[in-house]
Amino acid sequence: MKSALIWTIQIILIPVLSPLFTGIIRKIKAGFQNRVGAKITQPYYDFWKLFQKDEVISQDASWVFKFAPYIIFAVTIMIGASVPLFTSIFSFNLLSDLLVVVYLIALATFFLALAGMDVGSPFGGFASSREMTMAALTEGGLISSLLALALAAHSTNLFSMVHSASSLSIISFPPVLLAFFAFLIAMLSETAHFPFDNPATHLELTMIHEAMILEYSGKRLALMEWAAANKFLIFLALGVNMFFPWGLTASSESTAILTALFLFLLKVLILCLLVAVLESSMAKFRFFRLPDLLLMSFILSVIAIILMI
């Protein structure tokens, strides 16, 4: 019974909390910009409002445009149920393999790019092209950053990697830190944050993610925005649990679970603060400068792998 309850919490935790952390990021950034900003619960109200609105769908839209939001949202729920959040007892999960998770993320990106191109919008077309370019350049650094931990664990199962990382000595921590910085760069690229993209922009020449969902409205737009928030929280969870795995529990006791949940939320909040500081202290890079930054992510990962070996 307790395992079923833990599994239920594992499944619903990402979609329930992802809008909250999006609101926290916006609130922190507003503070850095000397603004009051909206409440941290504002994304919940925004999604509720969008779910109540009617939809306008282009007559040129195919099934890809209509079903992509459901597919992308479902994929993020599947990934959220497969990664370590607050417990390490689900090592038997077949979807928790490193490559499976990365390719599920790529699947969501693929349908997002298809949806952006489907209605023939010029904004959607150039944004989809940029998105696939960035995704192709990001995957190397993303996989390599996690591969350093996989080599130490002799397994590509995320739960096994977390268990192994928690038992590493202090001498092994510098390469883990290098891998974390590589992962952080890849995370900012995958989740459309500075310096790769501005999630709050509506300038046609700079937006990537927003341009791909420009044709959506109503319920489908809510699902797209919710899926983006889910993806951001998934990357935050991977960042804090794979590289700083302290606080996860292997027990099914209520006290241990509540403590692990508290520590998980605290670690994610700290990483949110780091992301907000980075976004508030730098401008968006020109598109042709971004490959250099992603190459740095890959180089840091390779160095971490060599030091791990």
pLDDT tens-digit map of 17-69: 999 999 999 999 999 888 888 899 999 999 999 999 999 888 888 999 999 99
* Mean of pLDDT over the chain: 88
Q: Is residue 97 classed as helix, strand or coil in its secondary structure?
A: strand
Q: Which residues touch 161 (CB under 8 Å, ≥6 apart)?
A: 98, 146, 149, 150, 152, 153, 155, 242
Q: State the average pLDDT over residues 123-132.
A: 86
The pLDDT tens digits of the residues spanning 279-294 come to: 888 878 888 888 899 9
The closest alpha carbon to 112, from 87, 98, 129, belongs to 129
For the ranges 28-32, 48-52, 209-213, 299-303, the lowest mean pLDDT is seen at 209-213
DSSP assignment letter at 89? -
Q: How confident is the model at residue 114 (pLDDT cuts 50, 70, 90)?
A: very high
Residue 202 has what pLDDT?
A: 60
Higher pLDDT pick, 135 / 200: 135
241 touches 101 (CB < 8 A): no
For the ranges 50-54, 173-177, 216-220, 298-302, the lowest mean pLDDT is seen at 173-177
The pLDDT tens digits of the residues spanning 66-110 come to: 999 999 999 999 999 889 898 877 766 777 889 999 999 999 999
- Neighbour count for residue 126 (Cβ, 10 Å): 18
- Concatenating the DSSP letter of every residue in 14-74 gives HHHHHHHHHHHHHHHHHHHTT-----TTHHHHHHHHHHHS-----TT--HHHHHHHHHHHH
Beta strands in the chain (DSSP E): none
Residue 205 pLDDT greater than 70, yes or no: no
Q: State the average pLDDT over residues 210-228.
A: 91
Distance between CA atoms of 161 and 201, rounded to whole angstroms?
Answer: 37
The closest alpha carbon to 75, from 264, 272, 226, belongs to 226
Amino acid at 37: G
What tokens does 57 get? 């769908």
Q: What angle do CA 211, 214, 216 make, to 5 degrees?
A: 145
Range among 66-75, 166-175, 255-264 with highest mean pLDDT value: 66-75
Q: Which residues touch 270 (CB under 8 Å, ≥6 apart)?
A: 240
Residue 273 pLDDT greater than 90, yes or no: yes
What tokens does 231 get? 């993806």
29 touches 280 (CB < 8 A): yes
217 touches 55 (CB < 8 A): yes
